[in-house]
Amino acid sequence: MATAGGPKIVTDGLVFGYDTNYGVADNTTATRFYAGEPATNLYGDINTGNARPSQTEYNTSNWTATDLPKPPEEVGRVYKHTSGALNSTWSGNSYGYILKGYTYLANTTYTLSCWVYVSGDANLNALHQSMEGTTLTHTANRWYDMNNKGTWQQLKISCNSSSNVNGNAIIVYPSRSGVTDGSFSGFFAFGGAKLEINDSVTPYVLGTRSSTASLIDLKETTDIDVSNVSFDSTGQPDFDGTNDYLDLGSDVTFKGNGGNWSAEHIVKYDVVPAGYNNSTSPGNFLGGTVNYNSWYWSVLNRKLALWNRSPGVWKYGSTTLEANKFYHVVLVCEPGGTSYKMYLNGVEEGGTNASYVYNASHSGISARYFGVGYAPSTRVVNGKIPVTRIYEKALSATEIKQNFNAYKKRFDI
């Protein structure tokens, strides 16, 4: 995978990896390896008989499948409505829309969303959507200006209730200011109707996206479980600094020829680990139940840090890291030379690390967790690790620089 028109990322020797951030930071672009935050679409499946969402519909004869260009994310089939009455206020079942009856649970936030498209020749100027119920509190406007015609727009609204309530989830019904009854010209289209328990919109799914179908190993050989990590408002994994981690389910040993391997990450700390306290500091990039086979690869004292269990010493890079900045970091192991090398933003680090010969006594890298140390609640990361790549070879300085150049524009490094 590479940035468009930019340098290619090294794939030779890659045995595991993930990439949560490629093209989905704004929830509008699908990517092969990050399907998105786990979610269940409560709006319903597609009815193959009429090829529309199998919910209550009005003026159904006017809904037709369309070959319009699709919305910015994959939503399945898209449908358009080409005629019907037009009103400036709600007046019942007089024009095309789709409604789902739903029982909203108390003290639970629901978000309803869909993509809509209004043709340039349409005389309507607004589309509505609503979650109805006597005790629902709307937290977003349900009237959407459609002056920006000829492009796809995502409509969304969230609500909450202090008690269980029977209500309706309604998408895309049109209106035009000052019109009480009349026909509209042109057409509007919709796709990707989604009702979910969340306070924000996640990437579209028709049914359910599980915690192991959210983030896919770049080699598609190892399951990654995201059920123990938080997510930000854009649907990106966000380690909260308390007990968040990605989980492979058991320790996996990656072992190259002669024990050579490399661990590469894109990282950003909200809080850069300072003094050692075994909880939030150091903030380890990866860990396992076997205590790393004798070392910690992390940030401590605000620098890249490596602890060699025998003879029990910390060694540091030379650069002080800052909060809220992305960095490209790589650890290279070459047991043949009994050495580890740290790289930051494509350059080998100095500091005490540079003059120390490590005891590279193990034959591979064992890992189960990402974003924590050897146990899921110690040495945790407060921030993001959107990319991890593990190679069963020692990346060369040239290859590390090549990968950095591929990432730097994307992450503004």
Instruction: Tell me how far apart the alpha carbons of residues 147 and 164 are, in angstroms, rounded to a whole number.
Output: 37
DSSP string, 299-329: EETTEEEEEETTTTEEEE-SPPP-TT-EEEE
Same domain, 233 and 247: yes
Number of domains in the chain: 2
Question: Rounded to whole angstroms, how far apart are CA atoms 128 and 98?
Answer: 11
In a domain, 59, yes or no: yes
Start-to-end CA distance of the chain, whole Å, equals 18
The CATH number of whichever domain residue 99 belongs to comes to 2.60.120
Domain ranges, residue 369 = 14-36+211-408
Is 334 within a domain? yes
Is residue 9 domain-resident? no
**In a domain? residue 94:** yes
Residue 205 belongs to some domain of the structure? no
Domain boundary among the residues 168, 197, 226 is at 197
Claim to verify: residue 51 and residue 122 sit in the same structural domain:
yes
> Is residue 178 located within the same domain as residue 68?
yes
Same domain (yes/no): 231, 220? yes
Rounded Cα distance, 259 and 290, in Å:
17
Residues 257 and 282 in one domain: yes
Per-residue pLDDT in tens (0 to 9) along the chain, 413 residues: 444 456 799 999 999 999 997 654 444 455 678 988 999 998 865 443 333 343 434 334 445 556 677 788 877 767 777 766 555 555 444 455 677 778 889 999 999 888 888 888 887 777 777 777 656 655 444 667 777 888 888 888 888 888 888 877 877 766 665 565 666 777 888 888 889 999 889 988 888 999 999 999 999 999 999 999 999 888 889 999 888 999 999 888 887 777 788 999 999 999 999 988 877 788 888 887 665 555 688 999 999 998 876 667 888 999 999 999 999 999 998 766 567 889 999 999 998 887 777 665 556 677 899 998 876 778 889 999 999 999 999 999 999 999 999 999 999 99
State which of 197, 221, 241 marks the end of a domain: 197
Give the integer Cα–Cα distance in Å for 357 and 165.
66
pTM of the complete model: 0.84
Residue 348's alpha-carbon distances to 253, 314, 397, 398, in angstroms, are 25, 17, 8, 11
382 part of a folded domain: yes
Tell whether 192 and 268 lie within a shared domain: no
155: enclosing H helix or E strand: strand 152-161
Q: Are residues 29 and 46 in the same domain?
A: no
